[in-house]
Amino acid sequence: MDARATIVTLTPNPAVDQMVWLEGLELGRVNRLLATQLDPAGKGINAARVAHRLGWPTRAFGFAGGETGAMLERLLELEGVEHDFVQIPGRTRFNTTIVACRTWTSLRGVGPDIAPEHLDELERRVCAALGPGRVLVMAGSLPPGVPTDCYARFVRAAKRRGATVLLDAAGEPLSLGVAERPDLIKPNVPEAEGLLGRRLSGIEEVSQGARELVRRGVGTVVVSMGAEGAIVARGAQLWRVRPPRVERKSTVGSGDSMVAGLAVGFAAGKRLEEGIALATAAGAATAMTPGTARGTAAAIGALLPAVRVEELVAHRLHLPASS
């Protein structure tokens, strides 16, 4: 890998995403498509694509199988994204999103079964790419056959090699990964609620929840709130991030684009506030892009000056002064 190629992404359950547009959808009838779009997908894949667009070389790791896996690799090659997939029996999943009558309907594939020896091979390849100064992004769902402690296993392996670890997942894979103290997690509000076992309503409760997750040993917690921005906690500090106002054409991949910006921030040695701003601009740029496409570097750069990062004062939020 290139000396600057410090971002490694792990997507255990990648996909090819197809988006189709129709005037209307009539069940039981032939429906004519207005347009279609194909993209390589999966949360870590999306992060790798955006980090690459920001000029930071990446290598995307995962599993690939069958003709769908070959299509996934070809789509990444067309974008110039370096990748290393363990070849498996079966087929990489295929997702379809139907846009008709201003309504989105998503059909999500499950993914192929993964044998233990293929998971071991993936770990060997990922670990060979890690070391001090490297950034590992782990993101997305787990396919059948992969145990729920998969991310926890990779967090431990990455930390032993001195890499910085970013985790973006949900449910038990996220909670088990958090127990291994990754450097950053980026849950949305429902995912943070799942980790904490309670509802989070309003900025004060989200802020308190983020601080609680930091106390569990996570280095930085970024709780994304869609168009409302994000709450960020590190140590005893808190920030409220406000994104620029954009016309939102699709929210698919916005969170993954945020993770890409955060990864570039870590890899480039930026201050946290700078990384947060870049991440927020990347998420907004993807939100204003139609379909399953991702924001461009030009769009991210144009939006960056409009991002607002404000440090919050605990006593004004009625939070405990210490964490």
Q: Is 232 exposed, middle or buried (0-12, 13-18, 19+ CB in 10 A)?
A: buried
What 3 state SS string does 254-315 have? HHHHHHHHHHHHHHCCCCHHHHHHHHHHHHHHHHCCCCCCCCCHHHHHHHHHHCEEEEECHH
Which residues belong to the active site?
256
Per-residue b or e along 162-197, where b marks 16 or more CB atoms closer than 10 Å to that residue's CB: ebbbbbbbbeebbbbbbebebbbbbbbbebbbbbbe
Look-up: residue for tokens 């993807």?
A: 286
**Single-letter amino acid code for the residue at 129:** A
H or E element at residue 166: strand 164-168
Alpha-helix residue ranges (DSSP H) falling in the chain: 43-53, 66-79, 116-128, 150-160, 171-178, 189-196, 202-215, 254-267, 272-287, 297-303
- Assess contact for 240 and 312: CB atoms under 8 A: yes
